[in-house]
Amino acid sequence: MEPIISAAELADVLDGTAILDVRYQQGGPPGREAYAEGHLPGARYVDLDADLAGRPGPNGRHPLPDPGDFAAAMRRAGVDRDRDVVVYDDWNGWGAARAWWLLRWAGHERVRVLDGGLAAWKAAGEPLSTEEPAPGGGDFTAAPGAMPTLDADQAAGLARRGVLLDARAGERYRGETEPIDAVAGHIPGALNAPTTANVAADGRLLAPADLSARFGALGAHSGAEVGVYCGSGVSAAHEILALASAGIPASLYVGSWSAWISDPARPVATGDTPDRAARSDG
């Protein structure tokens, strides 16, 4: 199944699809209030921090949720194992991609992201609703492990032998600024590939051929070993979505930078060149 769906395609199958509204903005308030003001008909709200992540700590700001807790949240959202699911948000696709990736990781095979999110739905002239469906009685159960993940040691090894992409903005990768985490820089050997470059001005993913060319220039192709990280495993999920659209499988370092720097013995690199200015605080 393709990882994205257009607004026109979704409109044709809306009634038979579980719709999840995953409004999330980095550093912003939860999106429930915006959801209440208008959402896709039949959509149920999913809170990224509460439903799509575990407690922050040494494993990062958005570690994997407990599989049982995640499955329960998805059942409340009306998710069935054999029913199509479409996820969307109203920012830059990061929240929707996190939900897509987690459902795929937990074994759901029929999940797609609304390309362009809520803005694309509105631009297509499709209706919104303020009616909130009752919590659903879905039958989804989690079978974790269907999407590959990396821990810190595996990410470090991949940066040396394969392709490890850092999906954050260039200034964070280079260590010029770090607005969220305590240490600036990147994993030595990682290549910078900001998630924002995967989308057009209207928020839709670039065409698969364009994405393939972009990632190919970084050495990421269908035959390569590819991994992705970001600050906390959210925007990196969107990068994996873009890679999947281009036919390139990739592993996610879920803890990402926020988990990497939890151990001061791990090396940190700065600058444009992947291995330049590597240092160890240990």
Q: Provide the annotated active-site residues.
A: 230
- Bridge-partner residues for 88, per DSSP? 21
For residue 242 the two structure tokens come to 């873009």
* Angstrom distance (rounded) from CA 208 to CA 93: 17
